[in-house]
């Protein structure tokens, strides 16, 4: 290959950016993952706003994972205001999070990454040859969106979550009406795992540090301690002590690294490697039947991890929806007081951290949000360095596809981080 590669816009990722690879004397000399989309300033928008505005404002950061932003923000604010939610509220928030995982994982597995693995340009072209696969994907995504709407009031950017609980309980009839579709989704998820196991993944393994939430008693999505494959275990209050952010000249998104200045990896691979024993039995059985061996160190196989999580979340959703029968108020009354709080939950793409300072009037005086894609950017660049020496030997078009596939396997949400892809290779 002896000329520049230019991709006007990366397909099948959230947001916009560019990739430049410069070669010197035939070797890779520089790699720049350029996140040029302007900063979105959400933390600034929050300053001076009343604390109950925060869940709805932060939900606007992402159209695919708004629940994650709501869950991390309400947890941080409830800690700041010393509010303890009821067990029923926690269960309904778990069900709401299941809805987001179902729609987000179905979207990424079938629409965003699978076309790379089966040799199609997009899910639309895949539909021409495999309509049943795409129909399954669309139905799964719809089920997730329907559940999201039933609880949150909208299928995108839900509005029912508040600090202390929910503004109102969803009706029992509306939740129970979705049980049969959720049961179908559980069976479809098992079929998704079997199908995903037949795909041919590129050979590429690295020695990653994986970081995820963890709880002994459940597969941690809503809350938990922050654990690492290095053995480190920290509370949400200690997150900024061990996981730091740095501005790099070529990116409008911050790059995260550990206190030891090493990269780390968040997301489904981290969760399944660290918390496999906490998966529901039906998800562990699905993994066993395809002969899954851990740890998974191939980023492309994040698709397999998502498929197994899909079994877990649909099964959990069936149980929570069947048992849904709320009593008492949907939110807890509390006195506004000044304070500082921390909240961490597992967005479908990985760990999402929020910290707020609230004054005596309930106004936001400080806000910090660390999204999962920003935490993975430095690791993505490290992977590009590892992959590039072989890929740049490929024909131009194939090289572009290979680089894009690697980045897509991370399911990046550049819009969250702040926004991605032009690929340019310069030769000297």
Q: How confident is the model at residue 9 (pLDDT cuts 50, 70, 90)?
A: very low
At 229-242, the pLDDT tens digits run 999 999 999 999 99
CB-CB neighbours of 122 under 10 Å: 12
Distance, in Å, from the CA atom of 288 to the CA atom of 161, rounded to the nearest integer, reads: 37
Query: Is residue 234 classed as helix, strand or coil in its secondary structure?
Result: strand
- The pLDDT value given to residue 36: 67
- The pLDDT value given to residue 13: 46
Residue with tokens 């947890």: 75
Residue 148 pLDDT greater than 50, yes or no: yes
Alpha carbon 420 to its chain's center: 16
Distance, in Å, from the CA atom of 1 to the CA atom of 83, rounded to the nearest integer, reads: 60
- The pLDDT value given to residue 362: 98
Comparing 323 with 4, which gets the higher pLDDT?
A: 323
Distance, in Å, from the CA atom of 244 to the CA atom of 226, rounded to the nearest integer, reads: 14
C-alpha angle 286-13-118 in degrees, rounded to nearest 5: 50
At 270-308, the pLDDT tens digits run 999 999 999 999 999 999 999 999 999 999 999 999 999
At 404-416, the pLDDT tens digits run 889 889 988 765 5
Which class for 424: exposed (0-12), middle (13-18), buried (19 or more C-beta within 10 A)?
middle
- The pLDDT value given to residue 21: 84
At 344-368, the pLDDT tens digits run 999 999 999 999 999 999 999 999 9
Query: Which own/partner contact pairs does 221-224 have at CB distance under 8 Å and 24+ positions apart?
Result: 221/94, 221/97, 221/101, 221/313, 221/345, 221/346, 222/71, 222/90, 222/93, 222/94, 222/97, 222/345, 222/346, 223/75, 223/343, 223/344, 223/345, 224/344
Q: What mean pLDDT comes out for the span 21-31?
A: 83
Dihedral, CA of residue 61, residue 37, residue 248 and residue 253, to nearest 10? 10
DSSP state of 112: I
DSSP 154-170: SSSS---EETTEESSPP
- The pLDDT value given to residue 423: 52
Q: How confident is the model at residue 78 (pLDDT cuts 50, 70, 90)?
A: very high
- pTM, two decimal places: 0.92
């Amino acid at each position: 290959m002896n000329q520049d590669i230019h991709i006007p816009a990366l397909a099948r990722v959230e947001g916009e950016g560019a990739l430049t690879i410069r070669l010197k004397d035939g070797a890779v000399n520089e790699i720049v993952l350029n996140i040029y989309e302007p900063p979105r300033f959400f933390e600034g928008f929050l300053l001076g706003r009343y604390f109950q505005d925060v869940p709805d404002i932060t939900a606007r950061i992402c159209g695919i994972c708004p629940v994650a932003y709501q869950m991390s923000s309400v947890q941080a604010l409830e800690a700041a205001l010393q509010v303890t939610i009821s067990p029923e509220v926690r269960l309904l928030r778990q069900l709401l999070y299941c809805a987001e995982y179902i729609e987000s994982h179905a979207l990424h597995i079938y629409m965003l990454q699978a076309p790379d693995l089966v040799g199609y340009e997009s899910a639309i072209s895949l539909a021409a040859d495999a309509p049943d696969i795409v129909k399954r994907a669309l139905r799964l995504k719809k089920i997730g969106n329907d559940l999201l709407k039933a609880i949150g009031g909208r299928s995108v950017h839900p509005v029912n979550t508040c600090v202390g609980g929910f503004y109102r309980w969803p009706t029992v009839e509306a939740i129970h009406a979705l049980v049969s579709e959720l049961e179908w989704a559980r069976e479809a998820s098992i079929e998704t795992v079997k199908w995903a196991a037949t795909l041919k993944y590129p050979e590429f393994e690295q020695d990653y540090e994986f970081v995820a939430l963890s709880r002994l008693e459940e597969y941690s999505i809503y809350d938990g301690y922050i654990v690492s494959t290095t053995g480190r275990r920290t509370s949400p209050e200690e997150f900024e002590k061990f996981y730091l952010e740095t501005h790099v000249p070529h990116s409008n998104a911050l790059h995260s690294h550990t206190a030891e200045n090493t990269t780390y990896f968040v997301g489904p691979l981290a969760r399944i490697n660290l918390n496999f024993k906490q998966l529901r039995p039906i998800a562990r059985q699905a993994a066993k039947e395809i002969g899954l061996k851990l740890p998974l160190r191939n980023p492309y196989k994040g698709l397999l991890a998502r498929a197994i999580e899909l079994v877990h979340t649909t099964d959990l959703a069936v149980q929570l929806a069947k048992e849904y029968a709320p009593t008492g108020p949907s939110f807890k009354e509390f006195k506004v007081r000044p304070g500082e709080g921390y909240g961490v939950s597992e967005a479908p793409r990985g760990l999402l951290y929020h910290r707020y300072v609230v004054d005596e009037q309930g106004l936001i005086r400080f806000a910090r949000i660390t999204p999962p894609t920003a935490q993975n950017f430095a690791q993505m660049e490290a992977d590009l360095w590892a992959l590039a020496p072989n890929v740049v030997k490929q024909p131009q078009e194939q090289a572009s596809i290979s680089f894009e596939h690697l980045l897509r396997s991370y399911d990046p949400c550049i819009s969250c981080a702040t926004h991605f892809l032009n690929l340019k290779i310069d030769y000297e």
